[in-house]
């Protein structure tokens, strides 16, 4: 597969990783106000630009109607999903994945808490 005529190769992947690493390193080196803040604001602007582009150039009415419809479907299914515990079918799915998600949440929550505390502190 290729994008913009650039083939997928080890060299192209290394160059992408190097570019992302360089941008992240410069952003961190410049600090919170000049580096990370600019990078974060740029990211938000790009995300908003992508959203506007998709809404303008894509099937806008279908996307908006689908968003509303699937929000309703989600709200309708949410009570059943909240209380489902795999008792009747006993597929074993919850036994494996629940522990994984609990472990992931427990191990990452201190890091997220410290990060939020640092950002809030300034």
In tens, the pLDDT along 16-66 reads: 999 999 998 998 888 878 888 888 899 999 999 999 999 999 999 999 999
Q: Is 3 a residue whose pLDDT tops 80? A: no
Residue pLDDT, tens place only, 87-107: 888 888 777 777 778 888 888
CA angle 63, 67, 69 (to 5 degrees): 115
Higher pLDDT, 117 or 14: 14
Domain boundaries, the chain: 1-60, 92-122
Q: How far apart are CA 64 and CA 76, in angstroms?
A: 19
Q: How far apart are CA 29 and CA 13, in angstroms?
A: 24
Claim: this prediction has a pTM higher than 0.75: no
């Amino acid at each position: 597969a290729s994008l913009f005529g650039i083939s997928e190769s080890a060299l192209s992947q290394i160059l992408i990783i190097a570019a992302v690493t360089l941008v992240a390193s410069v952003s961190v080196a410049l600090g919170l106000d000049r580096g990370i803040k600019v990078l974060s604001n740029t990211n938000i602007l790009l995300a908003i630009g992508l959203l506007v582009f998709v809404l303008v150039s894509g099937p806008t009415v279908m996307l908006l109607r689908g968003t509303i419809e699937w929000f309703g479907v989600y709200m309708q299914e949410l009570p059943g999903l909240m209380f489902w515990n795999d008792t009747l079918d006993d597929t074993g799915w919850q036994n494996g994945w629940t522990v994984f998600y609990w472990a992931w949440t427990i191990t990452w929550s201190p890091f997220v808490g410290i990060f939020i505390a640092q950002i809030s502190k300034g």
